[in-house]
Amino acid sequence: MKENPLRLYLTYSFISSALYQMIFTVNLLYYILVAKLDPLQLVLVGTAVEASIFAFEIPTGVVADSYSRRLSVIIGIFLVGIAFIINGLFPVFW
């Protein structure tokens, strides 16, 4: 039986948005309570995150155009998960 693509997309969007917001909220609390970052350091970390998102838009587009969008999304989700794990392992601001 074939799934309705719109329903599948809306379900995925809702779940991923809710989970990402929860992760970002916990991550912000982690930065403040565990890593003891001050407001300037929080802004610098946020700027680095946004700059990396901007920088990886082109390679993601190349993968999506050359292979498939699904592969591009899977790689992106995998890398975000790895980034959060690495971020949690090293609570240090340089």
Q: What is the pLDDT of residue 1?
A: 55
What's the distance, Cα to Cα, between the start and end of the chain in Å? 53
Torsion (CA) 5, 7, 12, 18 in degrees, nearest 10: 160
Q: What is the mean pLDDT of each run of 10 residues along the chain (94 residues)?
A: 85 92 90 91 91 91 93 90 85 74
Q: What is the pLDDT of residue 49?
A: 87
Q: What is the pTM of this model?
A: 0.66
Helices 69-89, 57-66: axis angle to 10 degrees equals 140
Q: What is the pLDDT of residue 3?
A: 78
